[in-house]
């Protein structure tokens, strides 16, 4: 992998990580304000639950490409020690290809659902926020995660053992 490739990867990781941190901070502030307003003044924030739901959706799906890029998914490595290194590398590439295929299928299905939601004009109950843009965002982030897995087929990083050894 070239040094230039690592630089743009780091920038994308930093941007997505920063966005996730901002969303998490705003979620904390909304929750804090809602709890204080609810229990001290008996006046909850109108629509706080809807905003929290939508921001959690954004947080989770914005984090999906980050988790895939950092290889931080839960994995089982019980056969790794039985395979020779070339076979293990081939298996990792196959797994990334299967993950990419499943993610692109999910992208397609969610994109179709987003189109239906947009056609219906679905909104949240209290604040009347359009739901379709959030579903399109879900599809885009799943597609980006699929691209990450395709990238990993070509640029498969060295695996590290439990103590950080290769």
Model confidence over 6-23: pLDDT tens digits? 777 788 778 877 888 898
Q: Domain span at residue 58? A: 3-154
Partners of 123 in beta bridges: 130
The 10s digit of each residue's pLDDT in 80-132 is 788 888 888 888 899 999 999 999 999 999 999 999 999 999 999 999 999 99
User: What is the mean pLDDT of the segment spanning 62-79?
Assistant: 82
- Whether residue 101 lies inside any domain: the answer is yes
- Whether residue 40 lies inside any domain: the answer is yes
Residue 61 CA: distances (Å) to CA of 17, 21, 51? 12, 13, 15
Residue 85 CA: distances (Å) to CA of 1, 158, 159, 166? 19, 11, 10, 11
- Whether residue 166 lies inside any domain: the answer is no
Tally the domains of the chain: 1
What's the confidence (pLDDT) of residue 118? 96
Mean pLDDT of the chain: 86
- Whether residue 124 lies inside any domain: the answer is yes
Residue 64 CA: distances (Å) to CA of 88, 119, 122? 24, 27, 25
- Whether residue 123 lies inside any domain: the answer is yes
User: What is the mean pLDDT of the segment spanning 21-36?
Assistant: 92
The DSSP code for 37 is H
User: What is the mean pLDDT of the segment spanning 129-140?
Assistant: 96
Partners of 130 in beta bridges: 123
- Whether residue 77 lies inside any domain: the answer is yes
Per the model's pLDDT, the better-predicted residue between 70 and 25 turns out to be: 25
What's the confidence (pLDDT) of residue 120? 94
What's the confidence (pLDDT) of residue 56? 92
- Whether residue 165 lies inside any domain: the answer is no
How many angstroms separate the CA atoms of 54 and 138, rounded?
11
How many angstroms separate the CA atoms of 110 and 104, rounded?
10
Residue 155 — φ and ψ, nearest 5°?
A: -110, 65
Distance of CA 13 to the CA centre of its chain: 12
> Which pTM value belongs to this model?
0.81
- Whether residue 159 lies inside any domain: the answer is no
């Amino acid at each position: 992998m070239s040094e230039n490739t690592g630089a743009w990867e780091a920038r994308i990781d930093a941007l997505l990580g920063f966005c996730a941190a901002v969303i998490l901070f705003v979620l904390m502030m909304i929750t804090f304000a809602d709890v204080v307003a609810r229990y001290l003044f008996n006046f909850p924030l109108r629509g706080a639950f809807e905003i929290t739901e939508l921001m959690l959706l954004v947080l989770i799906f914005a984090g999906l490409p980050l988790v895939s890029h950092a290889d931080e998914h839960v994995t089982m490595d019980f056969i790794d020690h039985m395979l020779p290194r070339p076979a293990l590398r081939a298996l990792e590439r196959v797994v990334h290809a299967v993950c990419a295929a499943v993610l692109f299928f999910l992208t397609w299905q969610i994109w179709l659902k987003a189109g239906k939601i947009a056609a219906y004009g679905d909104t949240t109950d209290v604040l009347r926020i359009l739901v379709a843009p959030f579903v399109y965002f879900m599809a885009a982030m799943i597609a980006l995660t699929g691209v990450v897995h395709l990238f990993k087929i070509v640029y498969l990083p060295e695996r590290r053992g439990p103590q950080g050894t290769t």
